[in-house]
């Protein structure tokens, strides 16, 4: 009988026993949606949903780490949120993030999690940037799961920044006449260049859109949508998404030959 990772509750352990660890996704990204609706249904202010959402982050991250996922990326705060949400809500979210990074550091260390951030971080409040840099430094030597928080993140902005980086690199290394741009070059200049290929995107709350999240990286990822609101999402729901992922036939544009477990398409194998 396969060993069950320590720390899973009974329900999680029962579901884990039905899964094949050799076919776990290497990189899972989650669009955490539904905090406001969760609060509204309970006649609570939106900030109550955000507070409860932080608890869901804790449950999901601990479960992901316990089962050995190499990388998890959470869409925590979009560039659109930063521009369009009321100033009071943005201020609360920044304070919540500041507090989260301090309070959850013991969890990161206990689970050997390395923390990093993607997005236009330089546009966030200075005190939040400093806390982020501190948290990243505290976990830099951890060797387990990489937890990436997407903050003030937008995928179109990421691609723009990647192109700017490519041009700047070329200009300082032989000039633009020798500039070569292909899929591998772009991938190497994205925020996520150090992460495994994206395998699975989970969206909570039932919305059927990507909301400007990892548009380049999602090209051959599986998408799993659940009607569960983010504050109600937990480790069991993560395992449920992985179970659905393992039922999918991943052909990467080929015919009737699923890819070998753990394999990923090469940049030039995307024949449709």
Using DSSP's 3-state secondary structure scheme, residue 225 falls into strand
Q: How far apart are CA 53 and CA 56, in angstroms?
A: 5
- Contacts of the segment 262-267: beta carbons below 8 A, 24+ positions apart: 262/22, 262/23, 262/26, 264/26, 264/196, 264/197, 264/220, 265/197, 265/220, 267/182, 267/183, 267/184, 267/187
Q: What are residue 38's phi and psi, to 5 degrees?
A: -60, -45
Q: How far apart are CA 181 and CA 187, in angstroms?
A: 10
Give the residue numbers annotated as catalytic, written as ranges. Answer: 33, 81
- Among residues 219, 167, 207, which one has the least CA distance to residue 189? 167
Which positions of the chain have pLDDT values less than 70? 1, 82-83, 252-272
Q: How far apart are CA 157 and CA 35, in angstroms?
A: 25
- Asked if residue 3 is part of any domain, the answer here is no
pLDDT of 262 reads: 55
Cβ neighbourhood burial of 2 (10 Å; 0-12, 13-18, 19+): exposed
Which domain, by its residues, includes 143? Answer: 24-154+198-245
pLDDT of 39 reads: 96
pLDDT of 257 reads: 57
Residues contacting residue 252 through CB under 8 Å, at least 6 positions apart: 220, 259, 265, 269, 270
- Cβ proximity of 80 and 20 under 8 Å: no
Q: How far apart are CA 135 and CA 138, in angstroms?
A: 5
- Cβ proximity of 98 and 127 under 8 Å: yes
pLDDT of 265 reads: 53
- Asked if residue 187 is part of any domain, the answer here is no
- Residue ranges of alpha helices (H) inside the chain are 10-16, 35-41, 46-66, 79-84, 87-103, 105-110, 126-139, 155-171, 183-189, 235-247
Q: How many domains is the chain built from?
A: 1
Return the structure tokens found at 112.
Answer: 């050997």
Q: How far apart are CA 171 and CA 185, in angstroms?
A: 15
- Among residues 207, 232, 236, which one has the least CA distance to residue 223? 207
- Asked if residue 15 is part of any domain, the answer here is no
pLDDT tens per residue, range 77-92: 887 776 677 888 888 8
Looking at residue 35, which CATH number applies to its domain?
3.40.1180.10
- Asked if residue 80 is part of any domain, the answer here is yes
> What's the number of CA atoms in the CB half-sphere (13 Å) around residue 219?
16
Q: Quote the pTM value.
A: 0.89
- Asked if residue 236 is part of any domain, the answer here is yes
- Asked if residue 272 is part of any domain, the answer here is no
């Amino acid at each position: 009988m396969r060993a069950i990772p320590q720390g899973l509750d009974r329900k999680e352990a029962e579901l884990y026993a039905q899964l094949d660890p050799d076919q776990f996704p290497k990189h899972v990204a989650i669009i955490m949606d539904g905090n406001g609706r969760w609060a509204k249904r309970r006649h609570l202010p939106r900030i109550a949903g955000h507070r409860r959402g932080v608890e869901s982050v804790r449950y999901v991250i601990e479960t992901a780490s316990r089962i050995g996922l190499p990388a998890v990326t959470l869409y925590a705060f979009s560039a659109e949120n930063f521009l369009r949400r009321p100033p009071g809500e943005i201020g609360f979210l920044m304070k919540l993030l500041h507090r989260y990074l301090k309070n959850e550091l013991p969890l990161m260390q206990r689970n050997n999690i390395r923390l990093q951030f993607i997005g236009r971080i330089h546009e966030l409040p200075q005190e939040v940037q400093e806390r982020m840099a501190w948290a990243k430094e505290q976990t830099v030597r951890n060797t387990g799961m990489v937890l990436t928080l997407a903050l003030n993140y937008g995928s179109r902005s990421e691609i723009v920044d990647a192109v700017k980086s490519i041009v700047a690199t070329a200009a300082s290394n032989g000039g633009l006449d020798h500039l070569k741009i292909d899929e591998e070059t772009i991938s190497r200049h994205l925020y996520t260049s150090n992460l495994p290929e994206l395998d699975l995107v989970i969206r909570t709350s039932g919305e059927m859109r990507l909301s400007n999240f990892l548009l380049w990286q999602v090209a051959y990822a599986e998408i799993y949508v659940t009607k569960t609101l983010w504050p109600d999402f937990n480790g069991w729901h993560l395992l449920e998404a992985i179970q659905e992922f393992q039922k999918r036939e991943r052909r990467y544009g080929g015919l009737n030959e699923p890819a070998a477990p753990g394999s990923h398409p090469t940049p030039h194998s995307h024949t449709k």
